[in-house]
């Protein structure tokens, strides 16, 4: 049975309606930056599924990459991005984003972001894959908190912007092939329809499809799944980036230990105390993430130990405390002093490189729908994202989408009005009888086991069989809870990821296959396109 076009039945004749010029879905860095760029004479509505400050952007630790030092050059940052991206970055996109980065960082300062300073200048750190110090950070290791605090505050003070949290986006509304708004759900209100001249999707990634992830629980791929149901094309869904160092202590909810820790000189050691990265890559602990994560995986297999360790004991303890106050606090709550004790870590799902296909302005393949940030596959990251290149992508594409959407919105004449759309689920089965938590946990464990850092045909085929089996009885149901809809979205995204990963018969970037362990440019120097759902 094919999946339903919408997650819920509706009829515009008896729905609650709202109208706005620009609808922005997602209040992370890309969504808020977009809102701030829309001209004052257009009404903007920004929706977030949870509290306004609950997004992956808020949890960003490391920082934002940009060429700001006289010792650095745009060409270096461009080269580093291409090397990390393993041949699949789009050169035009890389050039544009990297040259735009310093201006975007200055705009953030203008919006009130207080980056860390050293002797009155922006303090710059390094992370894996960067040839130079070029990453600005804030509050030591809480860059995302500071950036989001400042830009949300700015958006709150901007009269044409309305910010609304706790609003779940069920689906995008389309009419004659154009995106015309969204169907949303709010506790106490139920389903309502929002009509917009243009829609910008900035709903983030899908790390929750894995049991071990640095992502907050909101990252369930809702935007990717909704856009796919609306017919949008997605691209490169096989590339899930695994962050090498996620705290591995029972009860720690898999906290990220920033790559900046290695940027400041921390070592990775195996259970026997060996610095195993010395033998793995000339860049040692500062190799790109795919290289380090795969090396850790092999090390854990070799030593038959479930984790490796980060060692900061040779660094100045005062500097460690000042640079990493948040990480120190989290580790202290587990009795670990990061200046002395080795920190147990292992890789975890961190960033979805694939996503909606967008052009150089942020247009998706569905007219009226724009997209920015982790929900997209812009071409900046290729097959593996360079550390701290994601917030900058969100800023640049948020700005571009806003400009493009605003100019399109001005071209559409007349008042907005509701269209006579309706949808009745093909089956009226409710999800009530299903144990959604059990199914979600089963999916997340399956993805770790069979679609993790090291993949092969047999395990991916097994994952495909299980996911398709679950899809058959989960997708046709009409749930009435956020957990149910999130499960449907996670399954939809997992299926796209598995299909793309099975198809790519080589190893490249974040996608490593033990049955095809080498990069094969002759056959696979190309993108894997996932066509959107065919709508009637
Ligand atoms: C980190 O702090 O290691 C995360 C930065 C990123 O994902 O770019």
Model confidence pLDDT, tens digit, residues 345-381:
999 999 999 999 999 999 999 999 999 999 999 999 9
Strand ranges (E), 40-189: 44-47, 64-65, 117-118, 121-122, 124-125, 135-136, 161-164, 168-175, 178-186
DSSP run (H or E) holding 354: none
* Helix 222-229 vs helix 482-503: crossing angle, to nearest 10: 80
Give me ligand 1 centre to Cα 248, in Å. Answer: 17
Tokens of 98: 């990297």
Partnered with residue 512 across adjacent β-strands are 454
At CA 436, angle to CA 432 and CA 442, rounded to 5? 150
Q: Shortest CA distance to 309 belongs to which of 371, 356, 247? A: 247
pLDDT of residue 534: 80
Ordered DSSP codes for 418-470: ----EE--S---BSTTS-HHHHHHHHHHHHHHHSSSEE-HHHHHHHHHHHHHH
Pocket-testing residue among 258, 323, 324, 352, ligand 1, by greatest number of atoms within 8 A of Cβ? 258
Pocket-testing residue among 81, 139, 259, 374, ligand 1, by greatest number of atoms within 8 A of Cβ? 259
**What ligand 1 atom has the least distance to the C-alpha of 350?**
7
User: Among 126, 289, 385, 504, which one carries the catalytic annotation?
Assistant: 289
Q: Model confidence at 432, in pLDDT bands (50, 70, 90)?
A: confident
Pocket-testing residue among 62, 66, 141, 287, ligand 1, by greatest number of atoms within 8 A of Cβ? 62
CATH architecture group of domain 428-529: Up-down Bundle (1.20)
Q: Model confidence at 3, in pLDDT bands (50, 70, 90)?
A: confident
Say how far apart CA 497 and CA 408 lie, in whole Å: 32
pLDDT of residue 428: 55
Domain map (residue ranges) of the chain: 16-239+353-411, 242-347, 428-529
CATH architecture group of domain 16-239+353-411: 3-Layer(bba) Sandwich (3.50)
Say how far apart CA 464 and CA 211 lie, in whole Å: 17
Say how far apart CA 268 and CA 285 lie, in whole Å: 7
- Domain 242-347 and domain 428-529, same fold? Reply is no
Give me ligand 1 centre to Cα 387, in Å. Answer: 5
pLDDT of residue 427: 66
| Ligand 1 atom 4, closest CA | 62
**Is the model's pLDDT at 1 over the cut of 60?**
no
Say how far apart CA 373 and CA 362 lie, in whole Å: 10
**What ligand 1 atom has the least distance to the C-alpha of 387?**
8
pLDDT digits (tens, 9 = 90+) for 21-64: 999 999 999 999 999 999 999 999 999 999 999 999 999 998 99
Residues of 309-341 as b/e, b for ≥16 C-beta within 10 angstroms? bbbbeebeeeebeebbebbbebbeeeebebbeb
- Out of 3.55.10.10, 3.50.50.60, 1.10.730.10, 3.90.700.10, the CATH code matching 242-347 is 3.90.700.10
**Distant-in-sequence, close-in-space partners of 277: CB < 8 Å, separation ≥ 6:** 267, 268, 284, 285, 287, 292, 295
Alpha helices (H) along 41-140:
74-84, 91-110
**What ligand 1 atom has the least distance to the C-alpha of 389?**
8
| Ligand 1 shell residues, CB under 6 Å | 61-62, 258-260, 351, 387-388, 390
How many Cβ atoms are within 10 Å of 255's Cβ, its own excluded?
A: 20
Q: Which residue bears the tokens 């650095």? A: 72
Task: Report the predicted TM-score, pTM, of the whole model to 2 decimal places.
Answer: 0.96
Say how far apart CA 165 and CA 366 lie, in whole Å: 26
pLDDT digits (tens, 9 = 90+) for 208-247: 999 999 999 999 999 999 999 999 999 999 999 999 999 9
Q: Model confidence at 91, in pLDDT bands (50, 70, 90)?
A: very high
Give me ligand 1 centre to Cα 169, in Å. Answer: 27
Verify whether residue 133 is a known catalytic residue. no
pLDDT of residue 250: 85
Tokens of 268: 């990775």
**What ligand 1 atom has the least distance to the C-alpha of 65?**
8
């Amino acid at each position: 049975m094919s999946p339903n076009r919408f997650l819920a039945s509706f009829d515009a004749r008896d729905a609650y309606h709202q109208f706005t010029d620009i609808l922005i879905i997602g209040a992370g860095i890309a969504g808020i930056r977009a809102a701030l760029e829309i001209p004052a004479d257009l009404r903007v509505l920004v929706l977030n599924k949870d509290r306004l400050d609950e997004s992956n952007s808020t949890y960003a630790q490391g920082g934002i990459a940009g060429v700001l030092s006289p010792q650095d050059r745009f060409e270096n940052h461009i080269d580093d991005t291409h090397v990390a991206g393993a041949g699949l970055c789009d050169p035009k996109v890389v050039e544009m984003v990297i040259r735009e980065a310093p201006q975007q960082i200055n705009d953030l300062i203008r919006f009130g972001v207080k980056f860390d300073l050293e002797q009155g200048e922006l303090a710059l750190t390094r992370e894996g894959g960067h040839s130079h110090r070029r990453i600005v950070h804030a509050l030591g290791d809480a860059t995302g908190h500071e950036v989001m605090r400042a830009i949300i505050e700015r958006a709150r003070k901007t009269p044409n912007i309305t910010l609304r949290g706790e609003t779940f986006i069920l689906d995008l509304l389309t009419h004659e092939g154009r995106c015309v708004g969204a169907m949303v759900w709010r506790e106490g209100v139920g389903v309502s329809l929002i009509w917009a001249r243009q829609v910008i999707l900035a709903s983030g990634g899908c790390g929750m499809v894995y049991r071990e992830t640095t992502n907050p629980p909101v990252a369930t791929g809702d935007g990717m799944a909704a856009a796919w149901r609306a017919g949008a094309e997605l691209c490169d869904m096989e590339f899930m980036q695994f962050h090498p160092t996620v705290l591995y202590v029972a009860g720690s909810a898999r906290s990220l230990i920033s790559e900046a820790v290695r940027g400041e000189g921390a070592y990775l050691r195996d259970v026997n105390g060996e610095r195993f990265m010395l033998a793995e890559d000339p860049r040692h602990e500062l190799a790109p993430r795919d290289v380090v994560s795969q090396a850790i995986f092999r090390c854990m297999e070799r030593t038959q130990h479930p984790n490796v360790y980060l060692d900061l004991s040779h660094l100045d303890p005062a500097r460690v405390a000042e640079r990493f106050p948040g990480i120190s606090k989290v580790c202290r709550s587990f009795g670990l002093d990061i200046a002395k004790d080795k920190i147990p870590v292992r890789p975890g799902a961190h960033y979805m490189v694939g996503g909606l296909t967008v052009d150089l302005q942020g247009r998706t393949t569905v007219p009226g729908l724009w997209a920015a940030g982790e929900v997209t596959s812009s071409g900046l990251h290729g097959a593996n994202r360079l550390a701290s290149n994601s917030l900058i992508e969100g800023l640049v594409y948020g700005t571009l989408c806003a400009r493009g959407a605003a100019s399109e919105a001005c071209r559409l004449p007349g008042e907005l009005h509701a269209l006579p759309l309706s949808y009745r689920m093909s089956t009226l089965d409710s999800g009530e009888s299903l144990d959604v938590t059990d199914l979600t946990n089963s999916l997340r464990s399956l993805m770790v086991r069979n679609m993790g850092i090291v993949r092969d045909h047999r395990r991916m085929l097994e994952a495909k069989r299980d996911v398709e089996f679950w899809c058959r009885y989960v997708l046709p149901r009409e749930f009435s809870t956020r957990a149910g809809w999130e499960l449907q979205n996670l399954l939809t995204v997992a299926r796209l990821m598995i299909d793309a990963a099975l198809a790519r018969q080589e190893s490249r970037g974040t996608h490593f296959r033990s049955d095809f362990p080498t990069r094969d440019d002759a056959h696979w120097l190309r993108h894997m396109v996932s066509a959107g759902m065919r709508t009637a």
